[in-house]
Structure 1
Amino acid sequence: MKLSRPYYLCKSDRVVVLFLLAVLAFGVIGYHLLWPSADTTPIAAADSTRSKRRAVGTDSRRAYTYATPSRQVVYAPFDPNTADSTQLLSLGLQPYQVRNIYHYRAKGGVFRRPSDFARLYGLTAKQYRELEPYIRISADYLPASEVYAVHDERPKASSDSLRYPVKLRNSERIALNLADTTLLRRVPGIGAYYARRIVAYRQRLGGYAHARQLLEIDDFPEEALPFFTVDAGDIQRLDVNRLSLSQLKRHPYINYLQARAICDYRRLKGPLASLDQLRLLSAFTAADIERLRPYVRF
């Protein structure tokens, strides 16, 4: 027999189904009213608040650590054994470098010579070159052998003057092509490092034609230039018609291609009578020729 209503429920069954649905609905509503979701509980809210505070605190500390304001660098004599943080920061040192100095001193470390400061953890070679002329080590921290003679307990009167030469006054000048490293260290801003570099570059050039050539030395302090005088007569000139290719290219102002161009010109056209004869060669620019002019002879 075919049923006309395949899903027909009798009245009693319909009552039972409706009752179960009502119970289920009330159960779901009651559960949400009596047990709120975990992310809205007071404990979760407190945890969320604390997390936000920690995040804000971390951000603020990070901003404080790295967003350091720019400072004006003021170079002045200082003793790394006694200088405070304010003075060290004014010299251009970073906060972490100042902390390293404090940690070193707290552990009993002593800077006995200016060169000891170069071993400071985190200090760059450029910073040391700039600060070295201003380092002053108190006699209290010097080795006893340097303060007192072996057979005489009296202090050596000339020890400090030899270690830290008296700087030139603003009206004083020195001959750049004749001064040795001891005299060069008397120039304000020039320490042992720059004094050695000045002499070494002077030997390579054959002498300085003008003081601004010192700026060709890496990071040379420009404020030291007014203390020098230059006599171009002290320059040792190159005989460009006699020197070999290897000898020519040793000069800072002549590279390999230029030295070869000079040798080729001599071989093809004879001795040079003037640097202007090199203007047609691609290896030389007008600036190259003018820079080289004080250093050649024919």
Structure 2
Amino acid sequence: MKLKDFLYFNRSDRNIVIFFLTLLVVAGTLVSYLGCETDTPLALAPDSLPTADSARPSNRRAATYYSDQGGYYRQDDVRRPERFAFDPNTADSSQLLRLGLRPWQVRSIYRYRAKGGIYRQPSDFARLYGLTQKEYRELEPYIRIGADYQPAADRYATHHEARRDSLKPTYPAKLQLSQTIDLNTADTALLKRVPGIGSYFAREIAHYRQRLGGFYSADQLLEIDDFPEKALSYFVIHDKPAKIAVNRLTLNQLKRHPYINYYQAKAITDYRRLRGPLKSLADLRLLKDFTPEDMERLSHYVEF
């Protein structure tokens, strides 16, 4: 039998053979194409070429490719450390990571703070485990310790002189000989400007004035124990003292006035009970509890 007899196919067989040959060619082409794409270094891949967007400034380092016996692999992008002011006592994890610290260092900082640890000065941050001298030198200018975390001794040392000066007593300028103040309206600060009057006598004047209802004469100040007589010339009186309704007050209310004692108050209430309301101080002159001096002083403070 001749060779051409073996190669002879009918039409249907020939179509099947052509189909399988075409399938083999397509499969071979795909295998060849995929194999070439796998062997191509990543650095030469079309999508790794520089573009307009990749040329913009970024805080990430450019990707680096390494070869190993003809193969290539790509290192993950590494973020460049940023430099900005931070307080290690309050900085959160995202800020610490942006500074270039490793995650395990950030966890160490969080554990230290959770236990009550405080960074009181920049040099305390140098004790962070794994931090190199180079890294600390780069971070040190940006460390800002908040006032709440600084040693209290520093604040005391800073303000000690100012506080000590503020504790020094200050004395008001005294009045000149030609100057006077109103005895019934002056407050304690103004009273202390009178020569010879300090805090003690200023308080005594204000207290006695309140009990009386006001002064009718500066000489009444001499009723205060050891009051300096030389100070009287600096006082004037423009307003009359307040008066009490002698016919309406109870015994206890009457005896609260400095010029009415218990026996005088009882004499007044007895008179009102037995004889009716007082019409004038003349009604009291017949009572043994009142002297002419008492009548003179009361005349400035009672009304009927």
Please state which band the TM-score falls in when normalised by the shorter chain: 0.3 to 0.5
TM-score when normalising by structure 1: 0.47
The structure in which a higher percent of residues are helix is: 1
Larger Rg: 2
Higher relative contact order (CA 8 A, sep 6+): 1
Question: TM-score when scaled to structure 2?
Answer: 0.46
